[in-house]
Amino acid sequence: MKVIFRSLLILLVMFVSVANAKDKDKVPGSLLHAKLTGFQEVPSVSTAARGEFRAIINPGDTSITYELTYQGLQNTVTQAHIHFGQRGVIGSIVIWLCNVSGNNPPPGTQTCPSSGTITGTITSADVIAASTASQLILAGELSEVIAALRAGFGYANVHSTPNTTGGEIRGQIKVVGKGDDDDDGED
């Protein structure tokens, strides 16, 4: 599975780099990536734990295939998700990736391993309403989540005990594999 996922990532990078798109927010098949560390958590966490989130938004923007890998967490992993929020800000959970504790995740949420890799495919059925109403993402609005991720306003994190109110590691998700064309100096 890992070899197939990495092969798909390579093929998608080649496709995106060859594509002559003017608007990076509309490039089909976007690649997403985040490196997760404790220093990116809010507040920051001193931990040796590390993680990585990789994903592919399918060309029709109807699903996201992902791989989340993490290791070295200080204690029992309790949950992992994607949040809607910019760097340095705590945002609402919009997608559950895995869960161990009884936090009422959506039905079908997979169990988190203590360390290792989880994979899956996210569809509109996996999107939950943002708990902060002013963020205006409703259940099922995958297109809104994809727009936020492409704009750099989403992050992945992994929680462990006793860090259940915030995560132990976090990484801001960004689009990778194509250049920036809006001259704001950011990738």
User: CA nearest 54: which of 42, 67, 43, 70?
Assistant: 67
Instruction: State if pTM tops 0.85.
Output: no
Reduced to 3 states, what is the DSSP secondary structure of residue 172? strand
β-bridge mates for residue 157, sequence order: 81, 170
Name the fold adopted by 2-17+28-176: Immunoglobulin-like (2.60.40)
Following DSSP, what letter does each residue of 57-110 receive, concatenated? E-TTSS-EEEEEEEE--SS-EEEEEEEE--TTS--EEEEEEEE-SSS-PPTTPE
Q: For the chain, which residues make up each domain, given as ranges?
A: 2-17+28-176
Q: Are 82 and 93 in contact (CB under 8 A)?
A: yes
| Omega before 43 within 30 of 0, i.e. cis | yes
Per-residue pLDDT tens listing for the chain (187 residues)? 565 555 544 444 444 443 434 444 455 679 999 999 999 999 999 999 999 999 999 999 999 999 999 999 998 999 999 999 999 999 999 999 999 977 788 888 999 999 999 999 999 999 998 888 778 899 999 999 999 999 999 999 999 988 656 899 999 999 996 433 343 444 4
